[in-house]
Amino acid sequence: MRGLSVLLVDKGDIGGGTSSWSTRLIHGGLRYLEHAEFGLVRESLHEREILFRIAPHLVKPLSMIIPLYRGARRGPWTIRAGMTVYDLLSSGKTLPRHRMLSQRQALELAPGLNSEGLLGAALYFDAQVEFAERLVLENALAAKDHGASIRTYNRVDRFIVEKNRTLGIEVTDLISGQNHSMRGSVVINAAGPWVDQVAGETVNERLIGGTKGSHIIVGEFPGAPKTALYVEAKVDARPFFIIPWNGNFLIGTTDQRFDGDLDHVAIDDAEVEYLLAETNRVIPAARLTRESILYAYSGVRPLPFTKNKREQSITRRHFIHKHEKLQNLFSIVGGKLTTYRSLSEQAVNVVFEALSRTPPVCETHRKPLPGAATSDFNAIRSELEKSGKLSPKTIDHLVRVYGSRALEILRVAASDQKLFETFDEETGAIAAEIVFAFEHELAQTLGDCLLRRTMVGLNSDAGRSAAISAAMIAGHNLDWSDERISRELRECVLNKSSTMIAKES
């Protein structure tokens, strides 16, 4: 958008490495106030408002309750003070201010809460990005619309260097096995937890010291809240969330140092027990067990490396590291999903500085993402209803996932009536979405399609019941051979198991 020639290279699929495994919140980071990170909170709240404008189909307001218990590390006055500062830092916001609730009011909003020692609660508002994968994808699609080249499943093997100046990269196409070289004036290493791996010997010291965060997904349970809960754990006083999400409940997250294989991150037994025990303590009627878990997922936060700080106190701010050994190579260190857009703006400014060019004005704060190309989503729903081919469940699914681009799905389906057929009963997803994912949304594998395009892979059985139907649709409409159908089904299960543990069907 600002006149640069851009190539995006990803070792895997877009958004498949870190963003997919977040708590799916767009928030200021209330607990960052404990560490006096006022600038980060202000920036985050500002970016939250921007995302309400440029991606309203994906980023929605979320009410949150913080129960206040006798003996907790964060007492009522601490929470009230934090809430007041939070409101002040989000001046100009569209969301309501916080409210302090009595015990009775708290139990009216969340009847399942443990009433023993409950003093009251704070009610405030933040935002949820139900499908973070789609937010990442739509940024890539918007870049592509403006001329960017995008290559997924291309692993960066080394930098092309001449006279200590970075002039490009050499990559391996992980699907074809072929090697390629790609040249450019500036290289931005935005590999998240993999930054040090990509940087290799270009750094003298470690940049990333990621921590693992794990979540469990459960179905409806006794005492389940209608609004999100932000609760202080009794074991370590660390806040965690219980959030209504995608028809189920998302519970997390943990925060552990991680030095293992970044390509194989999974929840461990201690994390499972921690999340179950703390949820059952806060909501006694829940009585959740391991059998209650539909699936779990884990990811690694790309935090700055620090030796002696506790996990919770490591900053969530981002840094743009200039490599001294190689000119025009920069690495992104830290950051969070909420502030991705402002980080991107800063990174592009750095590129212009490296090129000794004056940067044009950045417009991403006012340019809607592709699925937000409408001011009236009800009109989109009406257009889908007029087709007479879609159930209310399917219409709701299409608008939630694709926003205004749901009409493009409709046009694909109109080319062949069989593409109106549902392949996943739980979500109402239709066959046209499979074709659309591969022909218009950069999907390369069945896993891409289910987990980060149609979002069927995040239903109650992690997409298992829909996988065969989806593969057969791809086979029929995209000329997949029987061998490829079998391979895609095998690899889809293996890829999911590396970060997502699903209950066996």
Q: pTM for the complete prediction?
A: 0.95
Could you read off the pLDDT of 4-46 as tens digits, one per residue? 999 999 999 999 989 999 999 999 888 888 878 899 999 999 9
Pairing of β 187-189 and β 99-102: unpaired
Q: Which two tokens stand for residue 278?
A: 């703390």
- For residue 224, the model assigns a pLDDT of 97
H/E segment holding residue 151:
strand 149-151
Q: What is the mean pLDDT of residues 332-346?
A: 95
Least confident of 257-261, 404-408, 426-430: 257-261
Q: Which two tokens stand for residue 444?
A: 């390369």
504: pLDDT confidence band, cut at 50, 70 and 90? very low
Q: What is the mean pLDDT of residues 361-377?
A: 96
Q: Which residue has the tokens 């970075």?
A: 166
Residues 6+ apart with CB under 8 A from 182: 7, 9, 168, 169, 170, 171
Please say whether the beta carbons of 67 and 379 come within 8 A: no
Q: Domains of the chain by range and CATH?
A: 19-132+209-313 (3.30.9.10), 374-502 (1.10.8)
What 103-106 contacts at long range (C-beta under 8 Å, 24+ apart), as own/partner pairs, is: 106/65, 106/67
Q: Is the pLDDT of residue 314 over 60?
A: yes
- For residue 28, the model assigns a pLDDT of 87
The Cα 101–Cα 357 span in angstroms is 54
The three-state secondary structure class of 179 is strand
Q: Is the pLDDT of residue 315 over 90?
A: no
- For residue 348, the model assigns a pLDDT of 97
Q: Which two tokens stand for residue 30?
A: 């209330």
Q: Is the pLDDT of residue 300 over 70?
A: yes
Residues 6+ apart with CB under 8 A from 109: 65, 101, 121, 123, 226, 227
Q: Nearest Cα to 36, choosing from 106, 91, 85?
A: 85
Query: pLDDT higher for 502 or 331?
Result: 331
What is the CB neighbour count within 10 angstroms for residue 435?
Answer: 22
Residues 6+ apart with CB under 8 A from 268: 214
- For residue 235, the model assigns a pLDDT of 87
Could you read off the pLDDT of 150-200 as tens digits, one per residue? 999 999 999 999 887 878 999 999 999 999 999 999 999 999 999 999 999
Could you read off the pLDDT of 96-133 as tens digits, one per residue? 999 999 999 999 999 999 999 999 999 999 999 999 99
Average pLDDT, the chain: 93
Could you read off the pLDDT of 50-105 as tens digits, one per residue? 999 999 999 999 999 999 999 888 888 989 999 999 999 987 889 999 999 999 99
Q: Nearest Cα to 287, choosing from 273, 298, 277, 297?
A: 277
Which range is most confident: 155-169, 200-214, 331-345?
331-345
The Cα 324–Cα 157 span in angstroms is 20
Q: Which two tokens stand for residue 225?
A: 């809240």
Please give the share of the chain, as a percent, with pLDDT higher than 90. 82
Q: Which residue has the tokens 């840094």?
A: 319
